[in-house]
């Protein structure tokens, strides 16, 4: 991992790209055009304005390189002098286009959902409208003249720019670090300035540069049509308009302003190309695969909890359009300081259940619950948990804002949420990095996420969660994207952090070995339902649900030698919406009987601290009574 920071790395890449032939050409063209724009009117202004009635409509000669116009003025001098006005008007229109595009593009992320949708739809309609017609329509509205043309051309650039920014913003708004900032209650304006704009700056600048070339051509087109710059002012489009009727008599006079437009337009394109090459980012690394680890000895409970639930959910559901339910009414309690594992295959609803607790279910999913409480506070009325909840996601790179120094990101948590001063917050950030065993934390705090290794990033995310005093840490597949060697370190760290902070832990994983290493209790999810709730000590030999048994059997190091063939669960879990009456596991279950197809088993007590949703649990001789005695996945320890 390179140890230079993001800015110097961009400067380095820019410097390298400028030394390529395309870079040299773009830089030379820029300097030349800027020089002509600055010096042209100073040196040739008088000559360009000088009327000579003795030399009207002349062809090219030694005295007049491109000939003269109908008032005997030197056309070459006029083309040079027109550079400044042409560029000024082009850049003004670009500022309007870029500014308007940014505002409209970011707006849906800032305003309410309904207004946001309206803005997105309006931009969509405007983008679909043919650009040339839109431009002419605006030019007619704003009227003839350079001011009107600047607005017309600038506004015509707003929809495509807004669309680009909307797309970029939407992708960033869905990232984990924005989700984390939302949990912390970071204000919308701050979110835009700190998290959105820095991360869309690069592609936006590239687009704006290349679009400026288009603006130059469009503006010249309006002037050429007589809708733009009016005499006595003149830009390249206006000169083209004046000389086109003499193209067969003096072609050079008509071609010169046209060539100036094309070449300068190309220059903008080249500059955009150079920036694009310099800004080209490396593709993110694919996550490593996770081999199964040995089941560790389950740790002792870190904190004695009194049975009072920190998290209490009843009939929690996550519904998507069309009525498809990905989480179908689960109930769970997590005690203060308790470590609970939530396991299941992908698509079982385990991650969505956790996201529902944190009010982070992605749009258009809807969360409903008969009760949803956190430490006595009703999350349905106010879902914000502030620093009482720490989230650790699968991909630590996505959880950190790549544009900000790690220490600053951590410090912001304390500044925004705990009202700490900048110095206090920075000191705490360094202290927290130290607490998650990041060596030389002072130096590391000044680095950006790309300078960290994967394991260090995940530590930094955990440190961010520790900036406050979390009562619950939700860790969603926290080790899946990490190198095998650092997986255990991160798990140990989570266990340690939990012990020191007294926070409860909800660990979501498809990997039973990981859960067994850290948790005290396991909830097994299948097809949007909790199908078993058991102490982790029972997992290996005492699981009662055939699905839990099958999951345990699929972990090679739990019940088999490494050499033996891996057990797999035949079939696939039902998709949301595919489930009807009967047990959702029936199609894959070895113990299935007639009743399983007809009645849905509910989560029912099966001894102390045990619950199972199965008519014929493993280890029991016969069928169970129909009446459910409990619906809550709560350890009764
Ligand atoms: S209820 Fe029937 S089908 Fe479902 S898990 Fe139990 S035995 Fe298998």
Tokens of 102: 């940014």
Nearest partner of 258 among 55, 79, 464, judged by Cα? 79
Same domain, 112 and 249: yes
Burial of 436: CB neighbours in 10 Å, binned 0-12, 13-18, 19+:
buried
Same domain, 350 and 270: no
In angstroms, rounded to a whole number, what is the distance separating the alpha carbons of residues 266 and 234?
Answer: 21
Q: Is residue 412 part of a domain?
A: no
The whole-angstrom distance between residue 373's C-alpha and the CA centroid of its chain comes to 29
Q: What is the CATH number of the domain that holds 40?
A: 1.10.3720.10
Average pLDDT over residues 578-593: 86
Residue nearest to atom 3 of ligand 1 (CA): 586
Tokens of 171: 């992708």
Window from 322-336, 361-375, 616-630 with minimum mean pLDDT:
616-630
Q: How far is the CA of 556 from the centre of ligand 1 (A)?
A: 24
Greater pLDDT, 171 or 311: 311
Same domain, 274 and 359: no
Same domain, 248 and 130: yes
Q: How far is the CA of 597 from the centre of ligand 1 (A)?
A: 9
Pocket of ligand 1, candidates 543, 546, 619: which has the most ligand atoms within 8 Å of its Cβ, to mutate? Answer: 546
Per DSSP, the three-state class of 530 is strand
Tokens of 67: 């000939």
In this structure, are strands 366-368 and 339-343 parallel, antiparallel, or unpaired? unpaired
HSE of 34 in the Cβ direction (CA atoms, 13 Å)? Answer: 7
CB 309 within 8 A of CB 368: no
Domain limits for position 322: 309-388+469-558+565-634
Say what the pLDDT of residue 467 is. Answer: 85
Residue 597 has pLDDT above 60, yes or no: yes
Q: 637 pLDDT band (50/70/90 cuts)?
A: very low
298 in contact with ligand 1, CB cutoff 6 A: no
Average pLDDT over residues 159-169: 83
Please give the backbone phi and psi of residue 618, each rounded to the nearest 5 degrees, phi first: -65, 135
Atom of ligand 1 nearest to the CA of 545: 5
Q: How far is the CA of 464 from the centre of ligand 1 (A)?
A: 43
Q: Is residue 291 part of a domain?
A: no
CB 390 within 8 A of CB 462: yes
In this structure, are strands 504-509 and 472-476 parallel, antiparallel, or unpaired? parallel
Q: How far is the CA of 292 from the centre of ligand 1 (A)?
A: 27
In angstroms, rounded to a whole number, what is the distance separating the alpha carbons of residues 361 and 260?
Answer: 54
Q: Is residue 422 part of a domain?
A: no
Atom of ligand 1 nearest to the CA of 593: 2
Residue nearest to atom 5 of ligand 1 (CA): 614
613 in contact with ligand 1, CB cutoff 6 A: no
Window from 68-72, 281-285, 521-525, 630-634 with minimum mean pLDDT:
281-285
Q: Is residue 112 part of a domain?
A: yes
Residue 567 has pLDDT above 60, yes or no: no
Window from 124-128, 162-166, 201-205, 280-284 with minimum mean pLDDT:
280-284
Mean pLDDT of the chain: 79
In angstroms, rounded to a whole number, what is the distance separating the alpha carbons of residues 12 and 591?
Answer: 64
Strand intervals (E) in 440-545: 472-476, 504-509, 521-526, 529-535
Atom of ligand 1 nearest to the CA of 546: 5
Counting runs of H as helices and runs of E as strands, what totals does the chain give? 23, 13
Per DSSP, the three-state class of 563 is coil
Q: 16 pLDDT band (50/70/90 cuts)?
A: confident
Q: 281 pLDDT band (50/70/90 cuts)?
A: very low
pTM metric for this prediction = 0.58
Q: Is residue 302 part of a domain?
A: no
Q: What CA–CA distances, in Å, run from 86 to 264, 360, 486, 549?
A: 10, 50, 59, 75
In angstroms, rounded to a whole number, what is the distance separating the alpha carbons of residues 312 and 319?
Answer: 19
Say what the pLDDT of residue 1 is. Answer: 36
526 in contact with ligand 1, CB cutoff 6 A: no
Tokens of 523: 């909830």
User: H-type helices in 111-230, by residue range?
Assistant: 113-128, 131-142, 146-173, 176-183, 188-190, 197-224
Q: How far is the CA of 585 from the centre of ligand 1 (A)?
A: 6
Tokens of 622: 């016969």
Tell me the sheet residues that pair with 286: none
616 in contact with ligand 1, CB cutoff 6 A: yes
Say what the pLDDT of residue 621 is. Answer: 56
CB 459 within 8 A of CB 399: no
Q: How far is the CA of 586 from the centre of ligand 1 (A)?
A: 6
Q: What is the CATH number of the domain that holds 603?
A: 3.40.50.300
* Sign (positive or negative) of CA dihedral 419, 422, 428, 434: positive
Strand intervals (E) in 237-379: 309-320, 324-335, 339-343, 366-368, 371-374, 377-378
Residue 36 has pLDDT above 50, yes or no: yes
Place of tokens 């045990």: 610
Same domain, 172 and 57: yes
How many separate domains does the chain show? 2
CB 341 within 8 A of CB 509: yes
Same domain, 82 and 14: yes
In angstroms, rounded to a whole number, what is the distance separating the alpha carbons of residues 401 and 196?
Answer: 9
Q: How far is the CA of 581 from the centre of ligand 1 (A)?
A: 12
Say what the pLDDT of residue 251 is. Answer: 79
Q: Which helix (H) or strand (E) holds 409?
A: helix 406-418
Atom of ligand 1 nearest to the CA of 584: 4
CB 290 within 8 A of CB 484: yes
Q: How far is the CA of 202 from the centre of ligand 1 (A)?
A: 55
Q: Is residue 518 part of a domain?
A: yes
* Sign (positive or negative) of CA dihedral 179, 185, 188, 194: negative
Average pLDDT over residues 448-469: 87
Window from 45-59, 317-331, 472-486 with minimum mean pLDDT:
45-59
Nearest partner of 208 among 324, 114, 91, judged by Cα? 91
Same domain, 45 and 179: yes
Atom of ligand 1 nearest to the CA of 601: 1
546 in contact with ligand 1, CB cutoff 6 A: yes
Same domain, 250 and 368: no
Atom of ligand 1 nearest to the CA of 615: 1
Q: What is the dihedral of CA 377, 380, 382, 383, to 10 degrees?
A: 90
Q: Is residue 403 part of a domain?
A: no
Same domain, 185 and 326: no
Same domain, 364 and 244: no
* Sign (positive or negative) of CA dihedral 18, 23, 25, 28: negative
Atom of ligand 1 nearest to the CA of 589: 8
Same domain, 475 and 333: yes
326 in contact with ligand 1, CB cutoff 6 A: no
The DSSP secondary structure of 408-455, one letter per residue, reads: HHHHHHHHHHH---HHHHHHHHHHHHHHTT-SSHHHHHTS-GGGS-HH
In angstroms, rounded to a whole number, what is the distance separating the alpha carbons of residues 576 and 348?
Answer: 9
101 in contact with ligand 1, CB cutoff 6 A: no
592 in contact with ligand 1, CB cutoff 6 A: yes
CB 428 within 8 A of CB 467: yes
Say what the pLDDT of residue 429 is. Answer: 93
Please give the backbone phi and psi of residue 186, each rounded to the nearest 5 degrees, phi first: -65, 135
Q: Which helix (H) or strand (E) holds 11?
A: helix 6-18
Say what the pLDDT of residue 430 is. Answer: 93
Same domain, 268 and 323: no
In angstroms, rounded to a whole number, what is the distance separating the alpha carbons of residues 436 and 457?
Answer: 11
């Amino acid at each position: 991992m390179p140890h230079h920071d993001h800015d110097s790395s961009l400067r380095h890449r820019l410097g390298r790209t400028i030394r390529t032939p395309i870079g040299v050409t773009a830089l030379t063209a820029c300097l030349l055009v800027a020089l002509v724009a600055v010096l042209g009117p100073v040196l040739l202004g008088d000559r360009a304005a000088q009327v000579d009635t003795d030399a009207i409509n002349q062809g090219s000669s030694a005295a007049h390189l491109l000939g003269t116009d109908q008032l005997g003025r030197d056309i070459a001098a006029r083309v040079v002098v027109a550079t400044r006005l042409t560029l000024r008007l082009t850049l003004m229109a670009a500022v309007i286009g870029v500014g308007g595009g940014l505002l409209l593009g970011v707006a849906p992320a800032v305003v309410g959902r309904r207004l946001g949708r309206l803005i997105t739809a309006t931009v969509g309609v405007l983008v679909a409208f043919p650009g040339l017609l839109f431009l002419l329509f605006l030019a007619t509205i704003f009227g003839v003249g350079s001011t009107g043309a600047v607005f017309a051309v600038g506004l015509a650039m707003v929809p495509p720019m807004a669309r680009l920014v909307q797309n970029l913003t939407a992708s960033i708004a869905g990232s984990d670090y924005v989700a984390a900032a939302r949990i912390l209650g970071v204000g919308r304006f701050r979110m835009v300035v700190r998290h959105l704009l820095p991360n869309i700056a690069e592609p936006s600048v590239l687009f704006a540069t290349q679009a400026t070339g288009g603006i130059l051509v469009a503006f010249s087109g309006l002037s050429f049509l007589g809708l733009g710059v009016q005499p006595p002012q003149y830009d390249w489009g206006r000169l083209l308009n004046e000389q086109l009727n003499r193209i067969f008599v003096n072609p050079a006079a008509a071609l010169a302003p046209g060539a100036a437009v094309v070449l300068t337009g190309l220059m903008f394109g080249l500059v955009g190309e150079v920036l694009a090459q310099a800004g080209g980012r490396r593709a993110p690394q694919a996550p490593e695969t996770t081999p199964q680890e040995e089941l560790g000895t389950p740790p002792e409970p870190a904190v004695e909890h009194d049975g009072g639930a920190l998290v209490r959910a009843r009939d929690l559901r996550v519904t998507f359009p069309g009525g498809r339910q990905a989480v179908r009414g689960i109930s769970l309690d997590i005690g203060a300081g308790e470590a609970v594992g939530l396991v299941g295959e992908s698509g079982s609803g385990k991650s969505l259940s956790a996201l529902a607790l944190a009010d982070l279910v992605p749009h258009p999913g809807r969360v409903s619950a008969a009760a949803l409480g956190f430490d006595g506070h009703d999350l349905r009325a106010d879902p914000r948990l502030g620093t009482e909840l720490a989230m650790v996601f699968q991909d630590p790179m996505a959880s950190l804002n790549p544009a900000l120094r790690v220490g600053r990101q951590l410090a912001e948590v304390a500044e925004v949420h705990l009202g700490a001063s900048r110095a206090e917050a920075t000191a705490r950030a360094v202290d927290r990095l130290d607490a998650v065993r990041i060596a030389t934390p002072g130096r590391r705090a000044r680095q950006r996420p790309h300078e960290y290794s994967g394991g260090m990033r995940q530590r930094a995310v955990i440190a961010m969660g520790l900036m406050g005093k979390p009562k619950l840490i939700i860790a969603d597949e926290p080790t899946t994207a990490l190198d095998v060697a650092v997986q255990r370190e991160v798990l140990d760290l989570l266990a340690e952090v939990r012990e020191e902070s007294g926070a409860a832990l909800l660990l979501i994983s498809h990997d039973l070995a990981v859960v067994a290493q850290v948790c005290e209790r396991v909830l097994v999810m299948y097809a949007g339902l909790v199908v078993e709730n058991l102490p982790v000590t029972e997992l290996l030999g005492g699981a009662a649900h055939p699905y839990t048994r099958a999951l345990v059997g699929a972990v090679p190091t739990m019940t088999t030698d490494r050499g033996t063939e891996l057990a797999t669960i035949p079939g696939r879990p039902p998709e949301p919406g595919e489930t009807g009456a009967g047990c959702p596991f029936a199609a894959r279950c070895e113990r299935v009987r007639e009743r399983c197809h007809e009645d849905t088993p509910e989560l029912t007590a099966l001894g102390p601290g045990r619950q199972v949703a199965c008519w014929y649990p493993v280890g029991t001789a016969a069928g169970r009574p129909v009446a459910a005695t409990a619906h809550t996945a709560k350890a009764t320890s």
